[in-house]
Structure 1
Amino acid sequence: MSKNTPFEAKTAQCGTLESSDCLVTISESETLRIDYRGANAGIFRKRTEAIVKELLKGRDLASVAISIQDNGALEVTIRARIETAIERFLQGR
């Protein structure tokens, strides 16, 4: 099987599902997709999407799917989890 077959999608994660943390998953995609979930998604969705776009732009990533399950994480924690997931994703490319 070749290295870039559709059956070997590149995915990276960072974080946990524990209280006051978040789980960030990033994978290959043909377009940018952001899925933000959590009890306060209505309040923090726009802020978190802006953080995601800022960090992806800084790494020249435009076509990825990123999922964030937020369980009450602080903004600094969310940012750190996203940055680490991006770094792991890029290392696995």
Structure 2
Amino acid sequence: MKISTTAKAGALESNDVLVTVMPNDQGGVQIQLETKRVIFKQFGKQIEEVVRDKVAEMGVDNVIVKVQDKGALDYTIRARVQTALERALASEMC
């Protein structure tokens, strides 16, 4: 599936994450992770893996996923990615 619109889910509060999904005209799944340096060093690869897994699970291609992390746990990241993708997909059906 492809998305053709931008959508968001989450918040920039402590222990949360703001996920923005947008079409990727260059193709493929691109992840842009913004977090504190220490979190990136320790958990950056894990966060990217969680995002990639959820995107693949939902069957979405050609998407940019911007992740602005404020210390969210994996299940929160998964939920926010899913919600943002569902919002982007739903807006195309209207």
Unaligned runs of 5+ in 2: none
- Matched residues, number: 85
Higher helix share: 2
CA displacement at 1:10 relative to structure 2: 0.8
- Preserved contact between residue 16 and residue 76 of structure 2 (Cα < 8 Å): yes
1:13 and 2:8 correspond:
yes
Q: TM-score, normalised by structure 1?
A: 0.83
Q: TM-score, normalised by structure 2?
A: 0.82
CA displacement at 1:37 relative to structure 2: 1.1
Q: Percent identity?
A: 36
1:13-67, Cα deviation, whole Å (9 max, x unpaired): 0000011111000001122210011111222221111111111112221210000
2:35 maps to 38
Q: Give structure 1 regions of 4+ aligned residues with deviation exceeding 6 angstroms.
A: none
Unaligned runs of 5+ in 1: 1-8
1:24 and 2:23 correspond:
no
The residue type equivalent to 2:33 in the other structure is: Y
Look up the SS of the partner of 2:7 in the other structure: strand
Structure showing greater radius of gyration is 1
The residue type equivalent to 1:86 in the other structure is: L
